[in-house]
Chain A
């Protein structure tokens, strides 16, 4: 039977930069492409070879091949060879801690079903595919080694086995009453040298995370970087916890939040630019962090945020941008569609979670009832069989509870995360629009200044004329800067979107496979239970 659903024809309007690449190729194109330095604040990263050599998950032989080939290539260039040798020595000195792949979520019920959290360290990139493109890039762009821009370093850090792992654990209630809050332990394991230690942990509360996000967003979003959004606030949830309700819904709430905070941090450190940020480092490392009071909804800053948001919304409606680049228009439409579809899927999965929990409760009720029935049944064999049935159903109820967990934590939460991420992506596109607007406004002002100068020329007022000329110069610079900013943000967004799409594909594939594996486990257990019951049923005489 022919498949009724033909996949849509791919590749209709895909920009050349972002064609589907094999795992290793992305490094190649990006190392060749750019030489410009990135615009923003953080200090330059440490030498790239550290990241290369902290390839703790790869086998050693590949590393050696890398060194040998390099030396061959630069046999003619003694300076280059020296530099390469220096980099390699530094890399080898560094002890590479094995990036452990532990099950990061502590909830005991989840252990049988879930495989380790999908961190980048698991990506099945064989060292050989990594090595080969890099070989070619060396031969083509030898001088680039000196001039490694931060972007290339970031690309390698990104595509390579990226050695930082974050866990959020041990939620602990601190304080009493309405001033109480939950403190979470944030543990970092890394071999990146930008951190003072290889393994460290700190205590953070929810507003700290929000504060971090706020800082990162302020610094990076207006220049086109997609900053992962922090988990949402929940007044209801937190109030229950504060009040001290020790019921299952508040434990669930805390667990949901803990997992969300973990995913948030993991996504943030995956971003090569954000990883360099000192605020992020401070968040992960320093034992004391200044309280982020500006994150409170009803604070002065909070209200200002709300006003700004409203103003932005109005502005968005009034800016009519002449989009010269079809890529942006297309991408925006795509993200709009994706957003809608994800929301629908998310709603369906949440309904599934709800119904499965109901099913589990109903199975438990039935199990009890069947046990009672078994008790009152006076035929011995049947009575025993009914009790067995009750036991089977109880076990199945447990099974469905665990499956509901997987439904939620693996699938539904991922979808929720991406819905929020897409909102961040849309935000970045909006910033670009604002940037464009600024540029246009500068051009208009320049024009006005020029007209004013012309008028002054005719009116022959020499003192004011000089001032007008100065102003023209000032605005010419601003126009130039505006254009440059606009081009920069457009470039950054293209790169970010490319990265985002790659991450998205990887994330979804990993998560869906993990989810399906949880379903497999459930079915296997079901088979075991019913196989055990069948002879009991047959034994009724």
Chain B
């Protein structure tokens, strides 16, 4: 796509601007999708899911239906219940140090990532505004250059050209920051939420387990429905232990992935910022050389 774009003539028409915007958004969306699919593929259990295989292999149109109103409403209520329950469940102190630490960590981390994500969004939007201003300045300088009758008109035209080019670079800076930083933070915002949800499910199952224990004791005391209580307790215990085990692994993986993703994105961000700054510098210096040579 980039090659065709450079072939389009260097004119700040609306069409070109729209193209650039679309390209930026397209790149973003593609990147997000790729990350998601890679995640699923890397997961020991999810990668075996049939739905996933169908998604990857079926070479015709998957007609995916969006959620209808009923399903959306169900989701809404489920969330409400979950939040309420989450509050109750989170009051329970965990015996396991690992999970207790993770819980404290995740709550704080999630909030801070949320904040950083929002601020990063504002930052990239501001960058884009500045790039747009450069565009308008370039157009005004062009108009001045074509109308002026003194020898400064050549000057204006050269500077107008500079602003057009530098504007493209600034727009790329904004898009790249968005891609590497804002999207990263957004992603980890959702990941940390998912991790919190996992902890919630585990806490839920812990509460269930403890309730089942209490029920069993009561049943033994009354000597009524003991077998049933025992079975329930066993199931809860198994569920709890299973979820604890997989949760532990997931949370460790979460950390590893997080560190790797941040590293990759921060390195790429720095490299791109450098590339753009150097590009800008070269543009400015060569323009200055021409202008100083003329005067």
Contacts and interface: CB of A to CB of B under 8 A. Distances in A.
Nearest to B159: A512
A255 interface: no
Interface in B97-126: 105, 108-109, 112-113, 115-116, 119-120, 122-123, 125-126
B118 to A, nearest CB: 8
Nearest to A509: B295
B143 A519 contact: no
A359 B295 contact: no
Interface in A318-371: 334, 337-338, 341-342, 344-345, 348-349, 351-352, 355-356, 358-359, 362-363, 365-366, 368-370
Contacts of A349: 133, 137
A363 B141 contact: no
A200 interface: no
A519 B151 CA distance: 24
Q: Which of A366, A369, A377, A509 has the most CB of B within 10 A?
A: A366
B217 interface: no
Interface in A486-516: 501, 504-505, 508-509, 512-513, 516
A344 B262 contact: no
A114 interface: no
Nearest to B182: A366
B4 interface: no
B262 A382 contact: yes
A513 B105 contact: no
Contacts of B19: none
A524 interface: yes
Which secondary structure dominates chain A's binding surface? helix
Contacts of A196: none
Contact of B115 (A4, A8, A369, A378): A369
A508 B147 CA distance: 15
Contacts of A369: 112, 115-116, 119-120
B60 interface: no
A509 to B, nearest CB: 5
Contact of A526 (B9, B150, B277): B277
A537 B265 CA distance: 9
A369 B270 CA distance: 18
Contact of A366 (B123, B258, B270, B271): B123
A7 B157 contact: yes
Q: How large is the interface on A (under 10, 10 to 19, 20 to 34, 35 or more residues)?
A: 35 or more
B145 A538 contact: no
A73 to B, nearest CB: 33
Interface stretch (B40-48, B206-214, B282-290): B282-290
Given A5-B160, A520-B281, 13 more contacts: A7-B145, A20-B150, A338-B148, A345-B141, A365-B123, A368-B119, A369-B112, A369-B119, A373-B115, A517-B288, A523-B280, A537-B266, A540-B259
16 contacts: A7-B145, A7-B153, A7-B157, A8-B147, A20-B150, A338-B148, A359-B126, A505-B150, A505-B151, A509-B291, A517-B288, A526-B273, A534-B270, A534-B271, A537-B270, A540-B266
Interface of B: 9-11, 105, 108-109, 112-113, 115-116, 119-120, 122-123, 125-127, 129-130, 133-134, 136-137, 140-155, 157, 159-162, 166, 255, 258-259, 262-263, 266-267, 269-271, 273-274, 277-278, 280-281, 284-285, 287-288, 291-292, 295
Interface of A: 1, 4-5, 7-8, 10, 12, 14, 20, 124, 334, 337-338, 341-342, 344-345, 348-349, 351-352, 355-356, 358-359, 362-363, 365-366, 368-370, 372-373, 375-379, 381-382, 385-386, 389, 501, 504-505, 508-509, 512-513, 516-517, 519-520, 523-524, 526-527, 530-531, 533-534, 537-538, 540
